[in-house]
Structure 1
Amino acid sequence: MAAVLGTAVPDQHRRPERPRRTRSLLVQAQFGVTAASVVAIFFTVVAHHVYRFEFRQLAAFCLPVLTVFFAFTSLLYMRGRSLAPGRDQFRTLFAAERSMRATLHYLTGIVLGTSLYGLLRAVSFNFDPSDPTADGLWLVLFLAPYALMQMGFLLFISAAWVILPQFLRPGSPLQVGRRIGRQVGRR
């Protein structure tokens, strides 16, 4: 019936489904490896500083990351609002929302960790990593803020992963000019 109506697509022009599925699996594997690497590195750094009870250095590591999260989220929202309605705008705004959620998780983890540190200092908790005792088990409480911060990291990576295809696509100066022209025409 489709051939009678002239809408049939010849077999030679059909795209095989297998390479697309393979590419999708490859992209998922890349995301998994990237996320696992970040998780391992971040866990190692946080565990090292918590075990040594060095929270100033941990704050010096975590607070600049929070600044990057806020800046990235802001840039994504501005970029999403400046794009013409369509797929790119939707993906960018989706990434901005995911990045905002990541920022809130990360910030909540920092606040919870700081509160826990203050509470342990208020009860005169001291821990010497060179002479560990059973009191050191209280440091396990820092897994809760770490989990929130780790969730923030993973959400942030997934937000970046959402918009990554937009930046890997080749674009000519003519296409950029057309996009700018559409934006000027909308105002």
Structure 2
Amino acid sequence: MIILPTWPGARRAVPSVLDFGGIQQPDSGAETQRQNRLGNRYAVSFEMPPLENATDGRIWVNRLIRGQREGARMEYPLLDFQPGTPGAFVVNGAGQAGTSLALRGGTPGYQFKEGQPFNVVTGGYHHLDFIAADVTANGSGQATITLSQMLRRPPADGDVLRIVDPVIEGWVMGDQLTWELALERLVGISFEIHEAR
């Protein structure tokens, strides 16, 4: 897994949902139904600011080339959202599925906010998701959060949550990775990362 630099950050990011479900529309005009499937995940398109080739530009290009083969990890932009001091939340119990996740080990009274991005780190892989509703941890640092998507893999007891600096992890997509070498000695880069699992 190639870790992309944290500086400079992207000047533009466009997240999207990779949705494997769909709407069933009967030919008869009957009621439509939503068919939900496991495996929905996220993608983010990034556009970088102009990078100086002599310093940042060549490093970014090299890591993105390697990320096509090995996968890449990039910080998810939080903009003005401050996640606070959550402590060390981990998954509380094995065998969990669906859109609820029981946690322990966090800061008592920590407040998860609707729309807050985070990762569940399962088997070393960072799964990105978002909090579906506000939740406050109890006095023992336990909480049950509701997820925006169904869990893609059952997490193990003790799997870590990455809350302060969430990431998107997956493949650098596209048939060709291209970059612009400008006369001002700047490099222009845009790329997309799709979660693999």
TM range (shorter): under 0.3
Quick check: which one's helix share is greater?
1
Whose strand fraction is larger, Structure 1's or Structure 2's? 2
Larger radius of gyration: 1
TM-score, normalized by length of structure 1?
A: 0.24
